[in-house]
Amino acid sequence: MAEDSPKRRKANFNEAETEVLIEQVLKHEQLLFAAGPGRASPGQKRKVWELIRHKVNPVAACPRDVEDLKKRWRDLKRRDRSKLCRLSQGCGPPGPAAALGLLLAPEEMPPAAAPPG
């Protein structure tokens, strides 16, 4: 039954794709995620995500669409929040490392955000 149309998943994001994605999302963070009266319209956000897609695809293992990039960004944020939570031994709101993209290893974190020990 599954032999008629085997569905293949896309390749995992490689390091270069992830780096470009993080760099571009952080560069356009204000437009993509700002709240309040100065926030961007959905059309503006779509254009920014398309721009990010055009930056990621040249280094991608396979062509990525905007939804792939959004999902990868959500997964990175979730993974890094849980990593910070484990490091701080409390699951409160993320600290200053959140502004850095939450992607630093403990030894890379600035002294104020690094866990004791």
Q: Read off the CATH number of the domain in which 63 is found.
A: 1.10.10
Predicted local distance difference test score (pLDDT) of residue 91: 57
Predicted local distance difference test score (pLDDT) of residue 69: 97
Predicted local distance difference test score (pLDDT) of residue 26: 92
Task: Classify residue 63: in a domain, yes or no.
Answer: yes
The Cα-based distances of 86 to 15, 42, 81 in angstroms read 24, 34, 9
Predicted local distance difference test score (pLDDT) of residue 17: 95
The range of the structural domain enclosing residue 67 comes to: 13-86
- The span from the CA of 97 to the CA of 111, in Å, is 10
Predicted local distance difference test score (pLDDT) of residue 85: 77
Per the structure block, which two tokens stand in for 42? 């959905």
Task: Classify residue 20: in a domain, yes or no.
Answer: yes
- Provide the domain count of the chain: 1
Nearest to 17 by CA among 77, 69, 67: 69
3-state SS string for 72-92: HHHHHHHHHHHHHHHHHCCCC
pTM for the complete prediction? Answer: 0.67
In a structure prediction context, what are the per-residue pLDDT tens digits for the chain, which is 117 residues long?
Answer: 455 668 888 999 999 999 999 999 999 999 999 888 888 999 999 999 999 999 999 999 999 999 999 999 999 999 988 877 777 755 555 444 454 445 555 555 555 544 555
Predicted local distance difference test score (pLDDT) of residue 116: 54
Q: 10 Å Cβ neighbour count for 37?
A: 5
Task: Classify residue 103: in a domain, yes or no.
Answer: no
**Position 73, amino acid:** W
Contact call for residues 24 and 44 (beta carbons, < 8 A)? no
Task: Classify residue 116: in a domain, yes or no.
Answer: no
